[in-house]
Amino acid sequence: MLTFLDPAVDVASRVVAAVGDVLHPILGDASTAGAIVLVTIAVRLLLLPLSYRAARATKARLAMRPRELELRKQFKSSPARLKKELNDLRQHHQTSQFAGFLPLLAQAPIFMVMYRLFLTPTVNGQANLLLTHTLLGVPLGDRWLADLATGLLPPDLLVFGALFVLLAAVAWWSSKQAKQAMALTPTAMPDNVSPELARSMQGMMGTLSRLAPFGTVVAAAFVPLAAALYLLTTTAWSVAERHVFGTYRAPVLAR
C-alpha cells in the first residue's frame, strides 16, 4: 500500500539520517529523534506559503459566512440567483469554493511520505534503520501498546509518558481553537429541521470538533515512537500556525 511513495521515502530517509549524523556530536543517541523533529520543522517551513494561502482562504470564508447564510435563506427558492449572489460574494472576498482546499491537497503527498517514513519497518526493500535508533534508551521503532503488553521499563514510562502529555497539551490547544472557530461559523441547516434538532446537531458537531484533536493521543499509542514524534511536531506546528495566522479568530466582516 502506498508503495508508489517508496522512492520519495528513500530520499527522505537519507536526509533524516544525514541530519542525524550532524546532530550526533551534540545529542548522542538522541540524534535521530532530533533529526526527525528538525526535518519535520524544515518541511513545514517549506510548506509555509501553501499554509498561508489556506489560512487566508479560511479567514475569507469566516468573513463571508454570515452573509452567505443570509443569501441562502433569501434566495432558497431561486437556485440560479443564489449561485450568482454567492459567486459575487466570493469575488468580493477574493476567494473561491476551493481556495483553502487546494493548498491543503498539495501538501498531502509530502505528509504521506513523512508519515510512511516513520511508520514503515522497511525502506526500499531494506530494514528501516531509523527505527533502530533510540531516544533515552527507547528504540524509535517501539510502540506503546507492544511495550505495555511485554512490560514497561522506566525509559518507556519516561519517554512515552512525556510524549502523551505533550500531545494532550497540543490537542487541548487545538480543541480550544476549534471551539472558537465553531462559535464563528454557524452551519446552515435544511428548512425542514426543527430548531431543537438544529441546536442538537450543532452541539454534536461542536463536541466532535473539540474531541477530534485528542485522536492524536490515541494514535500515538499504536504507531512507532518515530511516527509519534513526527505527529507531535507537525500537529504542534499546525496549532501554532493557526494561532499566528488567526484563522480561528473573528475576522473583519465585509458586506
Instruction: Give domain limits for the chain.
Output: 3-245
Residues ≥6 apart with Cβ < 8 Å to 207: none
* C-alpha closest to that of 17 among 129, 138, 136, 140: 129
Residues ≥6 apart with Cβ < 8 Å to 186: 65, 66, 69, 202
Distance CA(187)–CA(233), nearest Å, equals 31
Helix (H, G, I), strand (E, B) or coil at 2: coil
Residues ≥6 apart with Cβ < 8 Å to 227: 115, 118, 119
Distance CA(158)–CA(135), nearest Å, equals 10
Task: Give the residue ranges of the chain where pLDDT is below 50.
Answer: 189, 191-193, 252-255
| C-alpha cell of residue 65 | 459566512
Cβ atoms of 111 and 227 within 8 Å: the answer is: no
Output DSSP code: residue 53.
Answer: H
Tens of pLDDT, residue by residue over 42-78, are 989 988 888 888 888 777 777 777 787 788 778 877 8
How buried is residue 59: exposed, middle or buried, by Cβ count under 10 Å (0-12/13-18/19+)? buried
Q: What is the pLDDT of residue 147?
A: 78
The H or E element that residue 127 is part of is: strand 126-127
CA angle 114, 117, 121 (to 5 degrees): 160
Q: For 85-124, give the secondary structure using H, E and C.
A: HHHHHHHHCCCCCCCCHHHHHHHHHHHHHHHHHHHCCEEC
Helix (H, G, I), strand (E, B) or coil at 253: coil
Sign of CA dihedral 242, 243, 246, 248: positive
Q: What is the pLDDT of residue 104?
A: 67
Q: What is the pLDDT of residue 194?
A: 53
